[in-house]
Amino acid sequence: MLNKITEQKAHKIRYVLVVGWLLLIVSLFFDPVSQYLTDPNTNFFSPLKDEIINRAKNPETCIRLQGKCLPEDPYAVGTRIFWGFIIPAGFGIVFVLGHEFWRRICPLYFLSQIPRALSLKPRRQISQNQWLINNHLYLQFGLFFLGLNLRILFVNSARPLFGGFLLFTIASAIAINFLYGGRSWCHYVCPFGIVQMVLTGPRGLFGSEAHKEPARTITQSMCRTFDQETNQEKITCIGCKSPCMDIDSEKAYWDQLNKPGRNLVQYGYLGLVCGYFGYYFLYSGNFDYYFSGAWSHEAGQLGKIFNPGFYVAGKAMSIPKLMASPLTLGAIASIFYFALNRIEKFMVL
């Protein structure tokens, strides 16, 4: 099982991913080279060449945004790699290999542990913040909703702003773990935590069964370190979450099934996903705009937030994009939440 990968190997994987992630962030601020890799008219081989650049010159094949051909030029690839490769890979790892593998290699988790690596003790006990313990699912869902709207409105293609957003996220993760210790960021704040909760359920497709392991066994993605003196792994858990999905995801799943916000996460998440993809169609008037990836390098994204946010049946609606995006995601998430709750209650009866 993947949970048996040694901490030394997991640390090396995390290190490589962190270095790659930081280089990608740097490229969002300064990248004079990668635009040549996307130009389909160059003579050298590049897997990043984008044919929609040539298609943009032909009204019959161009990508249309609200009825007009979207101009295309060679572009820096940082945002395209992040949105088109890294994010889908993260979702795929969680869905197929389970949370226990992802949470051991997550680069944000690695960076959030800097205070522990510097031997800095937590400033407060998480038990002192009962509001966060009781309502963190609402907070994480709200941040996920906010994050999707920030993508659509501000950071999909605005590279420096997106780089600043990622740096702010890293700083926030470090600050939360410096304040409360352990995996406080992962459990109580990280928006991707609710994605793991929904996709994993009791355990992933290749997840281990922690409840069948002997007592005092290091299970799943439990916090651990390598002890140089004993040449063995040892537990470093400080009890920041109980029950903990890093220790026993199945126990955590059933114990938290009726936790406040759990239904919102389960049903509202599905609505947000449908609303997110659906909004690209409602905004552009077609699905080509989304599936071409043109939005990942679209010029002037910030200047379009007050442009019409809907384009339906060949007509633009005067509701600005700044309002249309949260309205769409919020409305569809609400519909899914209330409809699926009603269905659940009907089936229970």
pLDDT of the chain, 349 residues: tens digit per residue: 566 788 899 989 999 999 999 999 999 999 999 999 999 999 999 999 999 999 999 999 999 999 999 999 999 999 999 999 999 999 999 988 888 899 999 999 999 999 999 999 999 999 999 999 999 999 999 999 999 999 999 999 999 999 999 999 999 999 999 999 999 999 999 999 999 999 988 887 787 777 777 777 888 888 888 888 888 888 888 889 988 898 888 888 898 888 889 999 999 999 999 999 999 999 999 999 999 999 999 999 999 999 999 999 999 999 999 999 999 999 999 999 999 999 988 887 6
Q: What pLDDT, on a 0 to 100 scale, did the predictor assign at position 189?
A: 97
Per-residue pLDDT, 213: 78
| CB atoms near residue 39 (< 10 Å) | 17
The strand pairing partners of 65, in sequence order, are: 68
| Secondary element (H or E) of residue 63 | none
pLDDT recorded at residue 308: 97
The token pair that represents 75 in the structure block:
């572009």
Q: Which residues, including other chains, have CB under 8 Å from residue 47's CB and lie 6 or more apart?
A: none
Q: For the chain, how big is the Rg over CA atoms in Å?
A: 22
The identity of residue 157, as a single letter, is S
Q: If we measure between CA atoms, which residue out of 168, 198, 173 comes closest to residue 185?
A: 173
pLDDT at 248: 87
pLDDT at 1: 58
Count H helices, E strands: the chain?
17, 6
Residue 193, pLDDT score? 94
Which structure tokens are listed for 188? Answer: 């109580």
List the structure tokens of 97.
Answer: 């290999």
CA-to-CA distance for 168 and 111, rounded, in angstroms? 12
Q: Tokens 């650049």 map to which residue? A: 53
* Per-residue model confidence (pLDDT) at position 115: 94
